[in-house]
Structure 1
Amino acid sequence: MKAPDEVVLSRTTQRPGREQRVRWIMELTKQDLERMRASYREAKAQHIAENAVKNNGIHASAERESVAVTKNQPVFSIDVDSEAVANQRQAGFCWDYSGLNFLRWHIEKNLDLPHGTFQLSQAHTIFYDKLEKANFFMESIIKYAGDGLDDRRVDFLLAQPQQDGGDFDPFVALVEKYGVVPYDAYPDTAPSKNTAELNAVLDRLLREDALALRDAVASGKEQRALDDMRKDMLNEVYRVMCVAFGEPPERVDFEYRDSKKQYHADLGLTPLEFYKKYLGAVNLPDYVGVINLPGERFPYNNVYTIDMAHEMQGGARHLRYLNVEMAQLKGFVLDQLKAGEPVWFASDVTQDADFQKGILDLDLYDTEQLFDVKWTMDKAQRFDMGQSIPTHAMMIAGVDLVDDKPVRWKIENSWGTENGGKPTGHKGYFIASDAWFDNYVYEVAIDRKRLPEDLQKLYDEGEAKVWPYWNGFNPLP
């Protein structure tokens, strides 16, 4: 039996003894399609838009020239970093590149290095990140070995045993444990520039390991035997990483000339010695993750963490976020910039962005008029609906202030200066409008001394609310 036009009445029968449930199912009918066709034929403006989009694409057709050219000039009243940008290429380690850019800035400043002559090795951190993620995966597989393969948690683990994602807290943990080295001591390789093939090999290997570990638990093997299995498995992961990246150096030589052409040499340093000697004064553990995630589900002035976020086993640094209002978060950022120091941050760079021009602006694309639609969701609703999540980490290198209020922000990206022969931003730097910052910046790494005492105490002692592993804030989905 059909209801008028488009609605089909469907009866769902419950078990005997339970009340019968009736629900309506709307079917897309021929009449609906005719109404849609008639409506589009009347939409004359969209016929013009159709020609533009079919020939040029959506963004090129919707871009406002006044925003792309006139409004976003690369001039900032506070400008703390103009160093040459790094290039992560086809590797998803933006969090690592941005973190090392932050540390590089301190080394360049402290040693008076010439512009663009120094870089820290991203491959060094990535090597140990892959190893630590493999260890976390094995630990979790053993922990939930009694659950079936259809269990959501087990499915989550097996869907992506490891990958490139990360966050500021894991970066701090890695650097504190393994140190850093100059780029020349451990340069990029083909797999570090494009991690797709390496990730496929590691995921396949770890799934093999998961099968063996689950069988071992089911057969009643004791913890010591499981640990021995894991050590053998991790040895294989280490071997794969050495083949792909080369074996990481145990000691490095650091030779450089400063801006005054003076030669310096520091030989035979371990990665941790290098880190503590040249970056110890930064006191990286003092930088904490401050976030802005609005909405009733995430009350401000609370601390949050995430279940199963691939944390380093036995590490001293754990994933921990302090959620505050955006005005307060921006105040912390401005304080750090005014003190002459850049800021690591995470945002949704996929939104309202022109990567070639290097512009991040809410008014950049007029897609509402292009399609005759209306966008109504706010930041909290976009996050709740999966429309916007943190997707990329970069560094805030400056800000333009008018009457002491931010108008636009200088962003140091890690995508190089060109891609496919076309420029990437302003020599790799982007410009973000203040409205874009409000809507799409989610996390910043702030020196704890810039936080008031009550928030420092809350970060240190507050009981963290635990988000599930499928939460959009998880850096390792």
Structure 2
Amino acid sequence: MGIDNELLTEFKARFDANSTNQVIKGAIAKVGIDDASLDNNVLRRHPFEFSNETKRGAITNQQSSGRCWMFAALNTARVDTMEKLDMDSFEFSQNYTLFWDKLEKANYFLDSILETLDEPQNSRIVSHLLMDPVQDGGQWDMFSGLLEKYGAVPKSVMPETFHSSNTRKLNSVLTSKLREFACQLREDHKAGSSLNELTENKETMLYFIYTVLVKALGEVPESFTYTYRNKEGEYCRINEITPQNFFKEYVGWDLTSLVSLLNAPTEDKPFGRAYTVKYLGTVKEAKPIQYINVPIQVLKEAAVASIKDAQPVWFGCDVGKMLVRDSGIMDEHSYNYELTLGEGSGLTKAQRLDYSDSLLTHAMVFVGVDLDEQGQPLTWKVENSWGEKSGKKGIYSMSDKWFEEFNYQIAVDKKYIPEKWLKALEQPVIALEPWDPMGALALVK
């Protein structure tokens, strides 16, 4: 049945019969849906005062790039570095990790092409691999693999370049070339080339990617000397040190003790099991991505325990939902869409995931929480990486209900997680399809 004039006449009459529609129509036309729907009471619910806070550095800015997961991870790590170097603030080079991430993703992609040579060219898996082979996004375990293999360096050792802060064109060039390489590998396979021959060709392809990255991002240091001033203004020097040793000595994390908790309350992902995502990774030889799916209360309690222990918490969420960006407020009642549009969202968290209405889109850091008299969270203090112009000089406030509805993942030390949930790591890991929403943070552009 199509849309005919009779139906349109009925729609118009019903709309015009409600005088409120005329007022709302004018307001939305003037300022847009969000500003017309904003509940100003949300500002009163977020005083930006928190009972428990961790240390943090100066606000960072990922610029025009999708490196939120890197910024969040390095902003979490730098708290330990600030303590060890006796500094008020410190910033790691996100360009350094970006370089290695792009090169490793190119290798991971080409290996995946080699693993799927016998798949039809128009198969869903090949189409998925070709969609975005070197996008900016990533997952916690992907970054853990980069840190373990390459370490980290101070920002001054490998500062930003135009293309580290503006990745769109770089990604376009690399993506186009990698698709060409994929075509070559598949065509050579059809022509009878052996796997050894294809692997040799792959190394030549990787060299091209390497040259582009050096030209766009700069050469990565094998070792460096770092000079700085501590809190007392004293000049300090760290002589010739490798990035790997700098990370080990001045962050000192045991990466094997950090665990990713997930809250995906859908029927296909039972709680108490560990999951991975097929064909999702960066460093090929690193451990696969792994999450433990648990009830949301487990995420909250682990995050609170970590914050109380002065440890900030990396997390992944659907940042665009009910976000007042200028004010830096994430609240489930930020906008009265039911009043301006007639209806708000009627989907549960599980339904939003199942029907593609929500997924992981951004990573940030919990650096505080406001607890009530019973120790329950009221609001969460969030360190973002969008500079100081949004939020309260880069700091956001998240309601606890928003946490429940739109937060999906945290990374914390095992010691903050009850043993009953850690037992999931002793069971076989369930592999999710590459297009599952739980892998979406790695597709951020």
**1:355 aligned onto 2:330:** no
Give me the identity figure in percent.
34
SS in 2 for 1:473: helix
Give the superposition deviation at 1:350.
0.5
Q: Tell me the alpha carbon deviations over residues 157-207 of structure 1, each in whole angstroms, 9 at most, x when there is no partner.
A: 122222111010000000100110000000000000010000010011101
Length-normalised TM-score, structure 1? 0.90
Residue 381 of structure 2 is aligned to residue 410 of structure 1: yes
Q: Which amino acid aligns with 1:380?
A: A
Partner of 2:192: 220
- In structure 2, what residue type is equivalent to 1:48? V
Question: Which of 52, 59, 70 is the equivalent residue of 2:44?
Answer: 70
Whole-Å Cα distance in 2 between the matches of residues 378 and 432 of structure 1? 19
TM-score by length of 2: 0.97
Give secondary structure in 2 for the equivalent of 1:330: helix
Structure 2 unaligned regions, length at least 5: none
**What's the CA shift for 1:83?**
2.5
Matched, 1:86 2:52: no
The equivalent position to 2:76 in structure 1, one of 102, 105, 109, is 102
CA contact (8 A) 1:346 1:441 kept: yes
Corresponding letter in the other structure for 1:428 = G
> How far apart in 2 are the matches of 1:374 and 1:366?
8
How far is the alpha carbon of 1:338 from its aligned partner? 0.7
Report the AA paired with residue 172 of structure 2: A
Q: 8 Å contact 1:311–1:319 — kept in the other structure?
A: no
Tell me how far apart the structure 1 counterparts of residues 23 and 141 of structure 2 sit (CA, whole Å): 49
Query: Equivalent residue for 1:473?
Result: 438
Structure 2 equivalent of residue 262 of structure 1: 234
Q: 5 Å matches for 1:317-336?
A: 317-336=287-306
Deviation of 1:476 (Å): 3.3
- Alpha-carbon distance in structure 1 between the residues aligned to 2:313 and 2:32: 34
Deviations 1:133-154 (A, max 9, x none): 1111111112212222211111
Query: How far apart in 2 are the matches of 1:168 and 1:82?
Result: 19
3-state SS of paired residue (1:180): coil
Deviation at 1:262, TM superposition (A): 2.6
Which secondary structure does the structure 2 equivalent of 1:466 belong to?
strand
Partner SS, residue 476 of structure 1: helix
Match of 2:112 among 125, 131, 140: 140
Find the partner of 1:457 among 416, 420, 423. 423
**2 CA distance for matches of 1:322 and 1:238?**
35
Match of 1:271 among 243, 250, 257: 243
Check conservation: 1:87, 1:416, Cα contact below 8 A: yes
> Residue 191 of structure 1 contacts residue 244 of structure 1 at CA under 8 Å; is this kept in 2?
yes
Distance 1:476 1:89 in 2: 18
Which range is displaced more, 201-210 or 467-476?
A: 467-476
Aligned equivalent of 1:446: 412
Q: 1:431 is matched with which residue?
A: 397
Deviation, structure 1 residue 49: 0.6
Partner of residue 247, structure 1:
219
Name which of 293, 296, 310 aligns with 1:340.
Answer: 310
- Rounded to whole Å, the distance in 2 between the matches of 1:178 and 1:110 is 20
Contact 2:266 2:353 in 1 (8 A): no
Q: Is 1:34–2:5 an aligned residue pair? A: no
Moved over 6 A (4+): none
Does 2:34 correspond to 1:59? Answer: yes
Q: Within 2, Cα distance between the matches of 1:240 and 1:111?
A: 35
**Which residue, out of 274, 285, 294, partners 2:256?**
285
Instruction: Give the aligned length.
Output: 441
For the pair shown, the structure with the greater C-alpha radius of gyration is: 1
Q: Which residue of 2 aligns with 1:153?
A: 125
Q: 1:111 Cα shift?
A: 2.1
Whether contact under 8 Å (1:345, 1:445) holds in the other structure is: yes
Name the residue aligned to 1:19.
none
| 8 Å CA contact retained: 1:46, 1:372 | no
For the 8 Å contact 2:37–2:337, the answer to whether it is kept is yes
**1:225 alignment partner, SS class:** helix
User: What is the correspondence of 1:190-209 to structure 2 with a 5 Å cutoff?
Assistant: 190-209=162-181
Check the 8 A contact 2:307/2:368 in 1, yes or no: yes
Structure with greater contact order relative to length (CA < 8 Å, sep ≥ 6): 2
The match for 2:360 is 390
Q: Please say if 1:378 is aligned against 2:341.
A: no
